[in-house]
Amino acid sequence: MLCPKCAVRLERSKYEDLGIRVCPQCHGMLVRKNRLEVIRNRRDKSPEQLVHEIAEGGEDSMQRLRCPECRVTMRKERHHLGPSEFWIDVCTKCELVWLDPGELAKLQLAFELSEQGAERAQLRQRLANMTPEEQQELQERIAQLPESPLFRNWFLEGLGPLI
């Protein structure tokens, strides 16, 4: 299979022990959709590592790409990471996803944040029914959150109006 951008032969490679294909020239990667979900659900990389990978990645190209397997034009699928958005290329027929450098890290980080968002909503609901003593206890727990400034800020922003 050839790279949909450079037409260079894609090389077999591994990402977190799952088989993928990588372009030796642009470093984009081709991943089966089901494998992508496995990678996304893992927590092998820290948020700091993911942020680093995102920073190393390039511009999000808006170029229309053809699926390396069936040659049909791939669909642009929109994703969000915080306030910014990015697009990945998907062939729904072959269940293949093309990711520009840094986009896999964006997907992983976006997923972690969305999970956090869900936890935050639950927490808000619980807070509404808490006694002052219970709220105090929660504040103490928040003070003990891991020192990742990224997560801590997001977490506190979410609780902002309540604490």
Distances (CA, A) of 70 to 2, 27, 77, 105, 116: 11, 21, 18, 26, 37
Task: Read off the tokens for 66.
Answer: 């053809």
Find the radius of gyration of the CA atoms of the chain: 19
Q: Between 60 and 69, name the residue whose CB sits nearer to Zn ion.
A: 69
- Closest separation in Å from C-beta 63 to Zn ion: 11
Phi/psi of residue 65, nearest 5 degrees: -115, 150
Nearer to Zn ion, 92 or 148 (CB): 92
> Of 93 and 124, which CB lies nearer to Zn ion in the complex structure?
93
Q: Judge contact between 30 and 95, C-beta under 8 A.
A: no
User: Taking a C-beta distance cutoff of 8 angstroms, is the pair 12, 19 a contact?
Assistant: yes
At 65, which amino acid appears? Answer: L
Size of the site for Zn ion (CB under 5 A): 12
Q: What's the closest the beta carbon of residue 30 comes to Zn ion, in angstroms?
A: 10
Q: Shortest Cβ distance from residue 71 to Zn ion (Å)? A: 7
Restricting to residues 5-34, which ones interact with Zn ion according to CB under 5 A?
5-6, 23, 25-26
Q: What is the chain's length? A: 163
Q: Which amino acid is at 91?
A: C
- Contacts of Zn ion in 33-72 (CB under 5 A): 67, 69-70
| Smallest distance, Zn ion to C-beta of residue 79, A | 20
| Residue 92 binds to Zn ion (criterion: CB under 5 A) | no
> What x-and-dash track marks residues 106-135 binding Zn ion by CB under 5 A?
------------------------------
Give the number of C-alpha atoms closer than 13 A to the C-alpha of residue 70, restricted to the C-beta side.
11
Q: Give the binding site for Zn ion (CB under 5 A).
A: 3, 5-6, 23, 25-26, 67, 69-70, 91, 93-94
